[in-house]
């Protein structure tokens, strides 16, 4: 059984339209990693001079590809990226380390680049050895079909899907010094999604000339406001990876080499937008979901406190199942606030459920709202996108996370996932 048996209600009518990045070529192939005949390998090739930065899972049981990429990142240069779905190459011991070395060597030989410039990512089943020679079997075809066409980005998004039900890709453009700068990215993820990061992968490229240390600061900020603020099931993957590549084809005469560069503001804003769109797409493809939920906590003693409480609400199975049942059960929200371990005062608490411009206050000052309408609340809860707002009434701290409901389909998808 796979996620495709339970298509997301947010599945777009058409594949995303994205823009090409000069200096990036891509190809995909079916290597039989887990299933015969399924496209499951992505190869990206970057022109010489491409910078790279990234962020990774905070799991203490990180996969072999994550450890490989972390070791390479200090060099700040990339010539290729090899990604596979169907096998995470995680919890695979020495075999996992040998597999990533062999995989990098295969790509390096085929493209005539150093193995230390080849980045790797894997997603899928944990604990199964990954046979790198499967990449060798399709590498000649991959290299021969490398192409920079924008449709290849959608092909790439499809190749890295596991229980995802639709490809996730997006682009942004911004004018800097009279040059049009382009950013395009893809992501995958539908389950095992929770910070830090929230199994998800994302690969973004820009044609701008930006130094690796500046790229690192930018991607860290963008991830902090997007991929690190989503949760589907509160489980952090072994394999989470976000990589940002900069090919240097624009701004080549005046590259951005320091973080104080005044041009970075508009670029950062577009990168933040792109990452948030991709992060939202992951939640909207959450395994078995029926609702996309924004959790907004206000009035906390600090932003950090609000963040803890928002995550306690968004990760609560009882809150999530209430959304699945279209039940405005504020008692479960009160429970989640109370268990978070952060300052809260029952008698100052206010709770709203909202959708489509309508917001219904269901609780205030430690009790049900005197004007509460079951009919109005039920109408809101039937909507596909819902906002839960909580005001603690203690201070100015605020935080937002994005999550989804928890349905029987989630259990069905994950009960059969490994087989």
Q: Give the closest residue to 392 by CA, choosing from 292, 303, 294.
A: 303
What are the angstrom distances between the C-alpha of 413 and each of 5, 127, 161, 186, 233?
Answer: 8, 19, 14, 23, 13
Residue 247 CA to residue 254 CA, distance in Å, equals 14
Residue 56 CA to residue 200 CA, distance in Å, equals 10
Spatial CB neighbours of 324, under 8 Å, sequence gap ≥ 6: 290, 291, 405, 406, 407
Spatial CB neighbours of 325, under 8 Å, sequence gap ≥ 6: none
In a 13 Å sphere around the CA of 273, the CA atoms on its Cβ side amount to 14
Spatial CB neighbours of 77, under 8 Å, sequence gap ≥ 6: 49, 50, 51, 52, 117, 212
Question: String of b and e for 106-132 (b: at least 16 CB within 10 Å)?
Answer: bbbebbebebebbbbbbbbbbebebbb
SS3 90: coil
Q: How many CB atoms lie within 10 A of CB 10?
A: 20
Asked whether 251 and 181 are in contact (CB, 8 A), the reply is yes
- Token pair in block for residue 34: 């887990």
Q: Any idea which residues carry the catalytic annotation? A: 199
CA 265 to chain centroid, in Å, comes to 23
């Amino acid at each position: 059984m796979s996620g495709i048996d339970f298509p997301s209600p947010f599945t777009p009518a058409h594949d995303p339209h994205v823009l090409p990045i000069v200096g990036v070529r891509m190809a995909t192939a079916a290597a039989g990693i887990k299933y015969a005949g399924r496209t499951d390998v992505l190869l990206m090739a970057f022109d010489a001079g491409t910078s790279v930065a990234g962020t990774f899972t905070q799991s203490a049981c990180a996969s072999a590809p994550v450890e490989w990429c972390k070791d390479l990142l200090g060099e700040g240069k990339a010539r290729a990226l090899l990604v596979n779905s169907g096998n995470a190459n995680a919890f695979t011991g020495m075999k996992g380390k040998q597999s990533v070395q062999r995989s990098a060597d295969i790509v390096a030989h085929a493209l005539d680049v150093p193995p230390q410039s080849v980045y790797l990512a894997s997603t899928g089943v944990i604990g199964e050895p990954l046979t790198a020679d499967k990449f060798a079997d399709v590498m000649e075809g991959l290299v021969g079909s490398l192409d920079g066409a924008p449709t290849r980005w959608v092909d790439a998004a499809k190749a890295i899907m596991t229980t995802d039900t639709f490809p996730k890709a997006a682009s942004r453009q911004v004018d800097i010094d009279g040059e049009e700068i382009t950013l395009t990215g893809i992501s995958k993820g539908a389950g095992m999604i929770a910070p830090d990061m929230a199994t998800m992968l994302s690969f973004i490229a820009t044609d701008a000339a930006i130094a690796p240390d500046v790229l690192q600061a930018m991607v860290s900020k963008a991830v902090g406001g997007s991929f690190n603020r989503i949760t589907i099931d509160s489980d952090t993957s072994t394999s989470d990876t976000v990589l940002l590549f900069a090919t240097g084809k624009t701004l080549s005469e005046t590259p951005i080499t320091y973080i104080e560069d005044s041009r970075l503001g508009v670029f950062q804003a577009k990168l933040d937008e792109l990452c948030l769109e991709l992060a939202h797409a992951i939640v909207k493809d959450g395994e078995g979901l029926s609702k996309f939920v924004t959790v907004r906590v206000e009035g906390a003693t600090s932003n950090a406190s609000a963040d803890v409480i928002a995550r306690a609400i968004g990760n609560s199975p009882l809150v999530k199942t209430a959304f699945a049942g279209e039940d405005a059960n504020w008692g479960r929200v009160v429970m989640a606030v109370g268990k978070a371990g952060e300052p809260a005062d029952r008698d100052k608490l206010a709770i709203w459920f909202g959708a489509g411009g309508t917001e219904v206050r269901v609780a205030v000052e430690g009790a049900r709202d005197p004007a509460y309408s079951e009919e109005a609340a039920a109408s809101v809860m039937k909507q596909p996108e819902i906002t839960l707002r909580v005001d603690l009434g203690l201070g100015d701290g605020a935080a937002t996370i994005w999550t989804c409901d928890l349905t029987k389909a989630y259990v069905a998808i994950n009960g059969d996932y490994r087989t």
